[in-house]
Every structure is written in structure tokens, then in C-alpha cells.
Structure 1
Amino acid sequence: MSNRKTSSEIALGIRRRVFEHSMRNNGGYLSQACSAAEQLAWLYNEALHIGDPTLPMIPKPFEGVPSADNPDYHTGAGYNGPFTPVHDRLFIAPAHYALVAYATLIEVGRMAPEGLDMFNKDGSSVEMIGAEHSPGMEVHNGTLGIGLSTGAGLAWGRKKRGETGKVCVFMSDGEVQEGQTWEAIQGAAHHGIDNLWAIMDVNDQQCDGAMSSVMEVRDIATKMRAFGAIVVEIDGHDIEAMRQAKQEAHEGQPLIILARTSPYQGMDFLKKRFPRLHYVRFKSEDERRDMNIAIAAELGIEPVQLDQH
């Protein structure tokens, strides 16, 4: 798809959409937009070789679980283009980044803005925690830590079939507290699955606060290398650094880009909430008003018009 916007412009658009949505809906995943906007913008706008969407711009409602008796069932992967041997596949492992992923799809012209109006509504496929039928999603990754295994399995199958398309997994650093992530790295290295690469949003935050306060993970780059990955550490808000990292040679091994980020990049007002940033819900109408004014100014937009209670 053609897109005249730069990846930096798309990243700003992602933050604006997530902010506006969160203001109107009394909360949202603001810190994930702060930390991951550049990564998702770069993936869709530059890094991935994907075709035009195969699903309607306005998402279909939830059509039931997959079964032989449900011919209407679909995954949300059609927003990432068709499944062909030459196109890349993307797995978004942390399902709670769904709001940011939907904003990305809108910014790159793959989903209509009206899609966000369906967010977290009964009967909608635009789930709050992304599921396999949600826009941009192909499998259910709601159990954090299974995404890299899923990507590795698909990449191995594609390699055996001689397909040239690669498999990319977008991850979050909370996944390194799950043993399955380490098994996936080890398995991918052992089997030479080098058509697999990942970029991890390392914002040092998770549901219960700072990563180190939940379970110290220490030097994950060193550990990943020991398990067999090629690892590049970058500033996750530096798009040029992402471009260079993806060029790293990794024959016979998976590539993992550790993108170190800030959970309040572009929204410094959120520092007041640190380290409780996983899901930002307003503590009072006064805080909602102050946050609205302050963050809108940071993002270069007008404050969101809020309903008066």
C-alpha cells in the first residue's frame, strides 16, 4: 500500500489516537502507545513486506469460534494482507497492545477510524485484549509468552516449504518472565529458524508495576545470546536504529531486536503515575481534565471534548 506519511508521523498519529480514545473512554493503554508507537509504525510502514488488506475497512462483528460448522469464521490477519509464500507474517504477542495496534492500522490506512468506535463492545471483533479474530491478529496470544513459539513454528513450516516470506513477532519485555519464551529462542536456534525475527518493546513495565519489582530479569541480551539468538540493542524511539538493526546478519539463528523505550515518551504527564502505568484509568474528574489539557499540548492537538457528568 502507498503511504505518504513518514514512520515518525505515523507514530505521532498512533499516540494521538490512543490518547483521544482513552480520554473519551475513561482510561486506556497509554503507556504502550508511548513506548511502542515508533516500533509499530516502522513495522507496518517500512519493515514488513505485506500486501493490501483482504478484510473490510470497517471490521466485521465477532462471527464465532473456528469450527467445521462455522464457515463465516475469520481471523483478523487479513488486515496485514494476504497469505502468500512471498509475503511476511506478523504476530503481535502482547494482546494488551491491541488498542495501539488498531490505532496503527488506522494510521497506515488498513482499517477505518470507525473501527475504534467498536472497541470493547459486545459482539465486536475489536477486542480490548486482542484475540485471533481481532484486526491485525492471527492467533490468540492472550497468555503472555506464547507469541515467539507461535512465530517460530510458522517460520519453520515456511522454511520447509521453501517460502521466501519472513515471520516477525512484536513482543513485550514482560514475556521474558515466561519460560516458553526461552524455549522458543532455544528451539529456533537449534533448528536454524533464521526466517524468524522479533522486536521487543523493552519499557521495563508490566501489569503490577516496574519489571524489577515483580521479578528481576537481569541482562536479557546476554541470556538471549546464550540461548542462541542474534541480539541487537537499540533506542526503541529511533527509527533509523531499527532500520540498521534489521540488517544484522543472522544466518542459522533468529534475530531479536531489543528496543529500549520510555513508558511516557511523548506524554510526560504520565510520570506522575509512574510506575503504575500498565492501564491508565483516571482517579478523578480533576485528574482527567488536567491530563487531557497537558497531554494534548504535548501531542500538539486540542484537548478532547469530554462529556460533562
Structure 2
Amino acid sequence: MTLSNQQKTEDVAAGIRKRVFLHTMRNNGGYLSQACSAAESLAFLYNEALKLGEPTLPKVPLPFAGAPSAHNPDAFTGAGYHGPFAPEYDRFIISPAHYALVIYSALIQMGRMDEHALDHFNRDGGSVEMIGAEHSPGMEVTTGSLAQGLSMAAGVAWARKKKGEPGKVWVYMSDGEFQEGQTWECLAAMSYHGIDNIRVVVDVNRQQCDGAMSSVLDLGDLPARVSSFGVTCRSIDGHDLDAFRTAAESAEPGKPLIILANTSPFQGMEFLKKRFPRLHYVRFKSAEERQEMQTAIAAELGVDEAEIARA
């Protein structure tokens, strides 16, 4: 691992947080806590782990072209930002569609989307959706309710394994998806069928839309529960890049690899602790609250407030 690559991954993570913060200030709301918890894992995946080809979609996002069908040749999926579907390349399935803003920021940081792509965010007729759909940048499928993405990815991985394709299938999940029965059914199926070409990264930030997960449906000893399904489970510090590198290389033959990345919803933005337990989507209740948060987080991220004014 070269120092330059380490530095680039760190820079991508920092850039993700900064972009999501600036977007939130400009739009009076945004998914800040997801940027806090997911920045390192997404930076590691995009800059180091994923083997992707050059994007097949333009850097300036296209408008929505309609649902895919045999009669709509203009339809596309956002997977084009991950490059072409080819046996040697990895596939990357993003399950929590509400992480879309963070995914878009990662794609911009990696040069896969235009610097000003977020100008298209949540606009009528656009593809840069607030809640990602199959046509949104980086999204290959519409995951609908949480927990559907893993099952879709497992099917793709099983097919690739049967065809002998060398490319892996990576999945990004949130820990709230383990409150859904479909996730556990999929773990059992992947283990039974020996789907060992799948790599799952879970953002374990212990938060969900209704507050802290411990107050809604606590998962208990998640590593032990996941491991009991016969998969390879690694529980790591989700802000430690070396831990990610070690875990990503620890897959075992015949077993899916599940990486539980334990993260903080305040990482890099400690001021958000004041909003606990309502962190899922940060809105401002007053101009004074917005200014207080802007000043505090800008200082934490090293952002000039003049840059916020220009955003």
C-alpha cells in the first residue's frame, strides 16, 4: 500500500463529507449522519477495493429516460457510472437507497461524475434522485424497502459463479436492514449455496429514521448472529482503512464475506451529537439553528464559511 493511495482514500472520504455538508447547508437539509459514518468505507471501496471499468454514462447526469422495457431503447441504469458489465469487472449493488447523496458525492470525488452533478439533485424529470432508483447514478437496481438489495446481489453473484466470471459482486448495506427477515433468509441461502464471490460491507452506525436502533429493535450481538449462518464475518472499526484492507482480503473458500463496519454517525461532525437521537435526515428548525450548525461543522471540516455562501 503506497502512501499516495492511502492519502487519496483519505482525501476521498474527506471530500464526501465536505460535499454532503455543503449540499445540506445550501438546501436546508440533508443526510449528514450517513456521510459521517460511510465516508471511509465508500472511499475505500471506490478507490481501492472495487475493480471497475470506465463509466459508460456521461459525467453530467442524464434526465430520466423512462422505465427499462423492450420498447424503450433509451432507458438506462445508474450502474453505467461503475463501468460496463464485463466478466472481469466487479458489480456494486447499493442497497440503502437513502444513501444516494453520499454515493453521488463519492462518484464526484472519484471523477466518475461532473463536479456540479449535485445541481441536478432531486429535480423533477432528473435521474439524480433523493432516494436512489435504478436510473440514479451508481444504482443498478431499485431496492425499494430496505433488505432487498442483498438478495438481488446474491442472485447476480450466484449466476456469475456458475458462469465462471472472475469479477466479484460487492454490496453496500445499512445495519437497519438486519431488522428485516429477508436479510437473514439471504444469509442462509448464500451460505447453503456457497456463494463465495460476494463481498458485503455493512455501515453499522446504529441509527435509523426513528432514532437509535437500540430504542426501536436492538440487534444484540450482531457479529455472533451473522457468523452463526455459516458466513465469514469480520467486525471492524469502519473508520480504519487498514482494518478494511485486512478484512477485504480475508474471504474464505465456499463462504460469503460480510464486513461489519462499526461507525459513528458523528464522525468528522461532532456537533451532530446535539441532534441525537434524530439524525437520519438533518433539517433546521430555525435560521439560528442553521447558523449555529454551519459555523460549528464548518470549523470541524476546515471549510471556509465564505465557500458555504458561494455554494
Counterpart of 2:142 (choices 127, 140, 143) is 140
- How far does residue 61 in structure 1 lie from its aligned partner after superposition? 0.3
Distance 2:148 2:253 in 1: 24
Counterpart of 2:111 (choices 97, 109, 112) is 109
Distance 2:72 2:205 in 1: 40
Residue of structure 1 equivalent to 2:155: 153
Distance 1:196 1:93 in 2: 14
Matched residue pairs, number? 305
- How far does residue 306 in structure 1 lie from its aligned partner after superposition? 4.5
Distance 2:11 2:68 in 1: 37
Alignment of 1:61-210 (within 5 A): 61-210=63-212
Distance 1:169 1:18 in 2: 22
The residue type equivalent to 2:172 in the other structure is F
1:15–1:33: 8 Å Cα contact kept in structure 2? Answer: yes
Distance 2:50 2:91 in 1: 8
Q: TM-score, normalised by structure 2?
A: 0.96
Residue of structure 1 equivalent to 2:254: 252
- How far does residue 43 in structure 1 lie from its aligned partner after superposition? 0.3
Residue of structure 1 equivalent to 2:230: 228
Structure 1: 4+ residue segments shifted above 3 A: 304-307
Distance 2:143 2:296 in 1: 34
Distance 1:280 1:255 in 2: 33
User: Identity, % of aligned pairs?
Assistant: 63
Residue of structure 2 equivalent to 1:241: 243
Residue of structure 2 equivalent to 1:213: 215
1:23–1:306: 8 Å Cα contact kept in structure 2? Answer: no
The residue type equivalent to 2:105 in the other structure is A
Residue of structure 1 equivalent to 2:58: 56
- How far does residue 68 in structure 1 lie from its aligned partner after superposition? 1.3
- How far does residue 226 in structure 1 lie from its aligned partner after superposition? 1.1
User: Does the residue aligned with 1:129 lie in a helix, a strand or coil?
Assistant: coil
User: Does the residue aligned with 2:171 lie in a helix, a strand or coil?
Assistant: strand
Which consecutive residues of structure 1, in runs of 5 or more, have no partner in the other structure?
none
User: Does the residue aligned with 2:283 lie in a helix, a strand or coil?
Assistant: coil
Distance 2:24 2:79 in 1: 25
- Larger displacement relative to structure 2 (134-143 or 94-103): 134-143
Distance 1:186 1:6 in 2: 37
- How far does residue 258 in structure 1 lie from its aligned partner after superposition? 0.4
Could you say what the CA RMSD is over the residues aligned between the two structures, in angstroms?
1.2
User: Does the residue aligned with 1:139 lie in a helix, a strand or coil?
Assistant: coil
Residue of structure 2 equivalent to 1:13: 15
Distance 1:117 1:230 in 2: 41
- How far does residue 173 in structure 1 lie from its aligned partner after superposition? 0.2
1:130–1:142: 8 Å Cα contact kept in structure 2? Answer: no
Residue of structure 2 equivalent to 1:301: 303
Distance 1:129 1:113 in 2: 20
Distance 1:299 1:112 in 2: 22
- How far does residue 279 in structure 1 lie from its aligned partner after superposition? 0.2
The residue type equivalent to 1:289 in the other structure is Q
2:22–2:308: 8 Å Cα contact kept in structure 1? Answer: no
The residue type equivalent to 1:87 in the other structure is Y
User: Does the residue aligned with 2:282 lie in a helix, a strand or coil?
Assistant: coil
- How far does residue 44 in structure 1 lie from its aligned partner after superposition? 0.4
2:293 is equivalent to residue 291 of structure 1: yes
CA displacement, residues 222-269 of structure 1 (integer Å, 9 cap, x when unaligned):
111111211001000001100000111321110000000000100011
User: Does the residue aligned with 1:142 lie in a helix, a strand or coil?
Assistant: coil
1:129–1:142: 8 Å Cα contact kept in structure 2? Answer: no
User: Does the residue aligned with 2:105 lie in a helix, a strand or coil?
Assistant: helix
The residue type equivalent to 1:219 in the other structure is D
1:27–1:282: 8 Å Cα contact kept in structure 2? Answer: yes
Distance 2:260 2:271 in 1: 26
- Larger displacement relative to structure 2 (147-156 or 4-13): 4-13
The residue type equivalent to 1:269 in the other structure is F
The residue type equivalent to 1:177 in the other structure is Q
CA displacement, residues 8-60 of structure 1 (integer Å, 9 cap, x when unaligned):
11100000000000000010000000000000010000001111111100010
